[in-house]
Structure formats: C-alpha cells, structure tokens
Structure 1
Amino acid sequence: MAASARGLCHIAFHVPAGQPLAQDLQRLFGFQPLAVREAEGWRQLALRSGDAVFLVNEGAGPQEPLYGLADTGAAAQALVARGCSLPVPPVTVRDSQGIATYAVVRSPVGNLSLTLLERAGFGGPFLPGFRPLPSATRPGWISHVDHLTLACTCGSSPTLMRWFHDCLDFHHLPLSPGEDPELGLQVTAGSGQGGLKLTALQTPPGSAVPTLVLAESLPGAASGQDQVEQFLARHRGPGLQHVGLYTPNIMKATEGVAVAGGQLLAPPEGYYQQPGKERQILAAGHEPSLLARQGILLDGDEGKFLLQVFTKSLFPEDTFFLELIQREGATGFGQGNIRALWQSVQEEQASRDQET
C-alpha cells in the first residue's frame, strides 16, 4: 500500500545565511511572512501567497516537512515495508497550539527529501515551534503551486515514475494523446540542439497535490551541455529545477514582478512571429502586442489555452527558477511553449557564458 499524499504543505529550501531567497520571494513575487523559528544559530522563515508556502531554512538541516498525510505513522510503516529509507522516523512535536507528527523519506532524486506531515491536531498558522508573523494586507499574485519539475539523469524517468507510484500513489498523467508512460512526451528543440523528455505524474482525484514533472535530456545535442545537463552538473545531481506557481492574472503578476526588479526570461527570437501564433493568441482573447511586451508565452487549441512566463535563476549557481502559469482550460504544458522555454534557457546560458 502506498502512502497517499493529500496535499502540499510547503516547499523547503536550505540556503546559506544571507542568501536573498526569502527577500526575493517577498519583494519580487508578493509572498508574505507567515511564521518564523529561530534556534541554535539558524533561522526558518515560512512565506505564503494564497495556498503556496515556501519555507526558507538558513543553516538548517535537510529534514523538513513537504507532503501532508492523514496518518504519518501508518504511512511511514507502509514506506519502510516497500524498502524506502526513512532518515527521520515519525517524530511528534508540540507547542501551546497543538501537535504535529512528521517523518522524512529519502527520495531517489538526488538530495530531494519528502516529509510526511500530519498536523490535524495543530491550531497554529504553520507548525509547532514557529512564531506567527504579521503580514501586510497587500494581496499576492500567486494562488497555489501548479507543478514541480525535477531535473533527472538521462534514462531515469521510468524508474523514478515507478518509485513515486509505488511509494506515494502518483500515476502517469499523459501530456499528449496515447502517450506511452515509458517514453513520456519528447520535444525536440531543433537540429543539433537535442531536446527534452517530460513525464508528468499526479495523485488520485480528490487530493490537492501539485503535478510532478520529471525532465531529462534527449540525446542529440551537437556540442556542450543543455540546461538539464548543466543543472545536474551545477547541482551535483538530480533535484528540483523549477516550481510552477499558478496565478489567476498573469498579466498583472508579470508586470508586478518586472516593476519590482525581477528578471524574466525573454522568449526566443521570432516566437510571436511563428505562423499562426497571432491568430492563436487572438483566439484566446489576448492581445499579441501585450503578451510580447511582457514576454508571456501562450499555447493551446480548441478553446483551451495556458499562459506562462519564466524567471531567470534565483541562485548564482543557475540551478533553480520559478514559473508563473495561468490556465484557461488547458491541463498540459504546451509543446510549443516547452520548446520555447528550452530555447530561451539555452540562449540565456549562452549569454552568461559569454559574459564569463
């Protein structure tokens, strides 16, 4: 029996003291402080926008909550029975607001750990031991986490897919009609540029867990490393490449990020001049010139569209970025936009390499 996840509690990052991730999430993306915990020289700050919560750990260890379940103890036993490694067995923590129980599962994706969390008996704003923080009344642009994308080694997606299915009850989500789960969605980036293989996973209906996307490179690049391979090299293994944040108004969100000084990826040259692109944008009820001015990508058909914009890396190592996404009926990620993202990141990396 798998440990069925019911919802995403938060996404935790572990950064050196002084790294500006927490400040950037507030200043650039409208996240608000939720709660803080300080002990033994390190600091944990939880920030929220809508239902999306990021936990920034400065100097903390790797065992922090991620997924929420109904019964942590039973879930941990089920995972151990399947051969999973639990570096932290079920632990109960408490304060005046109540109790919560968590256990840490070591995933097969690099240094990514998944934490099972049960907090039905906790009445505070976040977790025991955290002090609530006053939040500004300014509304955020983000409503929830839409998806998580993991950069994986070439050929590893089928094995990872089976692990997430057997251990956490994820199932294959086809991104194209008749898609073979073993092959995923393969998007070639052009002659001599290789491409990308995506495998999407989701939990059963009724849960609030974001879609999980496994990304790996396709062979065929003429020279050098593509962005997935560069992530693997700079991150020293597989890991979380980007988080897709859902916004109900991507125009307003993108403008807010840009005004605040956020750096967004420019679409590849000629994106808006592709045959049929203007007609597609107009059919979705948007103005091509406005999307082009803000660098927003649009893809879809048959009345179902999605809009996306991507940030540049939030870390100097060029290993992690954010995506803003608005869905208008579309459930996938748009093959045209996947190809455009690939080209945009490649161009940005080439520009960085020239500067250095």
Structure 2
Amino acid sequence: MNIFDIDHLELFVGDAQQAAYYYGSAFGLEAAGRGGPETGLMDQRSLLMAQGEVRLVLTSGLAAEHNAVSYVQRHGDGVAVVAMRVDDVAECFAELVSRGAAPVSPPRSFTDGTSSVTFADVGGFGDVVHRLVQREGDSFLPGPIEMLEREPNEHPMFSRIDHLAICVPAGKLQATSDFYQEVYGFAEIFTEYIEVAGQGMNSVVVQSPSGGVTFTLIEPDVERRPGQIDDFLQWHAGAGVQHIALITDDIVSAVDHLGARGVRFLSTPDAYYRTLEQRVGHVDASVADLARLGILVDRDHWGQLLQIFTESTHVRRTLFLEVIERRGARTFGSGNIRALYEAKEREMVHAPTPMAADPDPEPMEV
C-alpha cells in the first residue's frame, strides 16, 4: 500500500458557484471542471478549482438527502473529503478496511476513452472521509466532472497543499494519531504542548511514509482557559479541518498579490519584528516587507519557514487558509503559534456568538 500525496480536497458548501467565485477572484484558482445533472450527477453541483497541484472540488447538494446538505447544515462550509493518490485503489481499500478503516464506498472506475480514474472512500476523522484515487491521463474524473478548456497559469502563486491542520475534541488526540499510524501507516513525526495566555493545546503531526500527506492534529487542554480550538470544535460541531496550508515559492509576492485581490490576513504586532533576526537569524527578505504584510518567520534545524494565515470568511469563523514558504524548514512554525493565537484572539472579539452544539455528536452517516 503506497499513499503518495493529496490528490484533491472536496469541500461541501452551501453555494458551489459562490464559493468558486471566491476562490477564483481572491486566490487565483482557475475553473478547471464542472459536474452536475448535465454530467450525470443528478443530486449535486460540483466545480473543480485548480492552481499548480492544488485542486479543490466545491460541491453543493441539489437534493435534501445529499450528504453535502446535512454536512453544511451541521458544520457549515468545510472540507468533507481528503483525497489521497495511491498506487492501487482496490488493494489499498481492502488493506485499510482489514486494518480497521470504515468502508464508505467500494472501488469504482470511470473512463472517457483517453483517461481513467478509480477511486474508493474510507473513513477518516470526524465526518471527513478519505478518497483513494488512482488515475491515468489528464482528466480529473472522466464522466462526472467535465473538464473545461483553459490555459493554466504559467506562474501560479501556489504549487501544492503542504499540510492540513485538524482540530479534534479533548481526549481524542492520541487515539486519532494511533488510528493514522495503525491503519494508514503514517508516522508520528512531531509532538508539542503549547501554552498561550492561559490557553493550552496539544499538537501531534502525522505523516505518510512518502512525506506527501501531512496532518497536524490539535486538541485543546480543557484544564486551561477555553480558546480558539474550543471555539472551532463548538462552531464546527466536532472534529474538522481548521486550515489548509498552501505552498508558495515567493511568499512576499504572493501575499502582496492576494492583498490586492482583497484577501485579509491575521495581523501581527509590530513588536514581533523588532527582535525577529535575533530569534531566527538573518532572513533573506526585507524585514520591512515582512512587517508590512504581517508574515511570520520561524526556524528549525533545517532552515527557515515563512507563513501567514488568512482571516476566516465563514460566518462560523472556522475554516481558513495558510500561505507558507519553506526555505529548508521541515516543521510547522510552532514558534509562531503564540503570534497566531494572539491574532486569532483579536479576530474572535468581532466574531458571532457560537451556536450550541452537541458536545459529543454521533458520526454522520455517509
């Protein structure tokens, strides 16, 4: 069983066309495919947005019984499917199920004569499932998703998905990590406890043997003051993807372009930059530009990491994006967690009152 990388993410959203407009106009993703009643998907509307190797499928249910409808009602817009590219879907599906993964849908294949794809779905975390994908040719999903003619951007801002940050309820962190190690064959590569302003959280990073799929798992410390992780879990009604980290080769240029497109980022105190190079060493970028844009910098044994987080545009203040540039660094910016927490705390002051949620909801039927 070989899991290579993240093939795509499928987001269940209230309005796929509106979401596609947002990801296109704000982040420069291109409309690459579409599916709906005209392609045989009678109960849903799906739009494929792409840039580099980043592919997002935005799906809205057209019938009350579609999974996307109940997902959005419970969680709001969010990541419902994390698709992973594998070498043999049938073999991988059978092995994962034998190891304890819940079977959601068995292997099935589509072809258009020039391209083919085989995929199957198995259980992941919370209400999120994993789609195993094996493809040949250029079509994304021959048949259900009709590819659109386009000229891909020769200089995309983003090249691929670096990692996903996943919030899990208190007491579920180690069990979730063990699940990915024992069932999916991932390795636990990083652990940390972080305390900020009376709040606390535990973090574990699990990664596929290929290094192509990385999940940062986070749980709140309930013995400390409630904070943004608690808010996410309440507003999202359980475990889910808190943010998607996208890799760029030039974060200063990318953030400048995104800002011009109207993307808003979490702010960083000016004091953060006064001792920046004392903390992380020389940065091969203008500190004035980093401060102007609010870009954070961290260092590990292998190099530097530059990162910034967008404000959430969701009414529940849940899912947001991270823009990240790796200059050799292999870790995830734990040195910047304090700055992120402080920025998110400022954002939460203006957030809506959280909706009541079942503290221990039953899994949604898929």
TM-score, normalised to structure 1's length? 0.87
C-alpha contact (below 8 Å) 1:281/1:287 kept by paired residues: no
Query: Structure 2: 5+ residue runs without aligned partners?
Result: 69-79, 354-366
Aligned-partner Cα distance in 2 for 1:127–1:208: 25
Aligned-partner Cα distance in 1 for 2:187–2:280: 32
User: Which aligned pairs between 1:7-46 and structure 2 lie closer than 5 A?
Assistant: 7-17=5-15, 20-39=18-37, 40=42, 42-46=44-48
Aligned twin of 2:107: 90
| Partner secondary structure for residue 130 of structure 2 | strand
Aligned twin of 1:181: none
Q: Does 1:305 align with 2:322?
A: no
Aligned twin of 2:122: 105
Q: Does 1:228 align with 2:229?
A: yes
Aligned-partner Cα distance in 2 for 1:264–1:154: 28
Aligned-partner Cα distance in 2 for 1:83–1:142: 35
Match of 1:156 among 154, 172, 178: 172
User: Which aligned pairs between 1:187-226 and structure 2 lie closer than 5 A?
Assistant: 187-190=194-197, 192=198, 194-204=199-209, 207=210, 209-222=212-225, 225-226=226-227
Tell me the CA shift for residue 137 of structure 1: 5.0
Aligned-partner Cα distance in 1 for 2:238–2:288: 40
C-alpha contact (below 8 Å) 2:300/2:331 kept by paired residues: no
CA deviations over 1:33-92 (Å, ceiling 9, x no partner): 221112225321111111111111122646867111111111111122123211211122
Q: Does 1:244 align with 2:245?
A: yes
Aligned-partner Cα distance in 2 for 1:260–1:143: 19
User: Which moves more between the two structures, 252-261 or 77-86?
Assistant: 77-86
Query: What is the percent sequence identity of the aligned residues?
Result: 28
Decide whether aligned partners of structure 1 residues 101 and 303 sit closer, same or farther in structure 2, where only a CA change above 3 A counts. Answer: closer
Aligned-partner Cα distance in 2 for 1:301–1:70: 33
C-alpha contact (below 8 Å) 1:106/1:112 kept by paired residues: yes
TM-score, normalised to structure 2's length? 0.84
Tell me the CA shift for residue 281 of structure 1: 6.3
C-alpha contact (below 8 Å) 1:29/1:140 kept by paired residues: no
C-alpha contact (below 8 Å) 1:65/1:117 kept by paired residues: no
Q: Does 1:132 align with 2:147?
A: yes
CA deviations over 1:267-306 (Å, ceiling 9, x no partner): 1463223xx3244566122222211110101111667211
User: Which moves more between the two structures, 300-309 or 338-347?
Assistant: 300-309
Q: Does 1:119 align with 2:135?
A: yes
| Partner secondary structure for residue 119 of structure 1 | strand
Aligned twin of 1:256: 257
C-alpha contact (below 8 Å) 2:167/2:240 kept by paired residues: yes
Q: Give RMSD over aligned pairs.
A: 2.2
Aligned-partner Cα distance in 1 for 2:176–2:300: 31
Decide whether aligned partners of structure 1 residues 4 and 303 sit closer, same or farther in structure 2, where only a CA change above 3 A counts. Answer: closer
Aligned-partner Cα distance in 2 for 1:353–1:58: 24
Decide whether aligned partners of structure 1 residues 8 and 264 sit closer, same or farther in structure 2, where only a CA change above 3 A counts. Answer: same
Tell me the CA shift for residue 148 of structure 1: 0.7
Decide whether aligned partners of structure 1 residues 292 and 106 sit closer, same or farther in structure 2, where only a CA change above 3 A counts. Answer: same
Aligned-partner Cα distance in 2 for 1:64–1:189: 31
